[in-house]
Structure 1
């Protein structure tokens, strides 16, 4: 396993909040914002107690926020 993600036995990829930010090119505060706003929900916990999200959860969050960001910025986000 590398520092960018974790894989489970089924091949699912999991990210801590910091890793999710790096993966998406967003700030850590943005990922925390997604949690507060209910865009990212039901995290699992890693062996250190940190919240982790699946690659699918991160992708779904991106799909949720992208249209709004495009409207606000008036361009592709």
Structure 2
């Protein structure tokens, strides 16, 4: 996984890299965008949306309890 750093040392991830970082499917990251959990992306030199690694981590942490509840219901 290529991680892009800015001059402040912050790591920026494409959507594909964010999916690998969180071990989630691409569709999940796109869903976070549609639901407004990921906002204000930058764009890399190829025009791809990129998000700060910390922003991705914060969203993943926020949705984890809900995902656990949903998966818990399916397992029962």
The TM-score with structure 2 as length reference comes to: 0.88
Structure in which a larger fraction of residues adopt helix: 2
Equivalent residue number for residue 14 of structure 1: 12
Which residue of structure 2 aligns with residue 72 of structure 1? Answer: 70
Aligned residues: CA RMSD: 1.4
Please list every run of 5 or more consecutive structure 2 residues that lacks an aligned counterpart in the other structure: none
Structure 1: gaps spanning 5 or more residues? none
TM-superposed deviation, 1:74: 2.2
Q: Is the 8 A contact 1:39 1:64 kept in 2?
A: no
Match of 1:45 in 2: 43
Q: 2:24 aligns with which of 20, 26, 43?
A: 26
The list of structure 1 runs, each at least 4 consecutive aligned residues, that deviate by more than 3 angstroms after superposition, is none
Question: Which structure has the larger Rg over C-alpha atoms?
Answer: 2
Q: Give aligned pairs, total.
A: 73
The alignment's TM-score, normalised by the length of structure 1, stands at: 0.87
Flag the structure with more relative contact order, 1 or 2, with Cα contacts below 8 A and sequence separation at least 6. 2
Q: Secondary structure at the match of 2:19?
A: helix
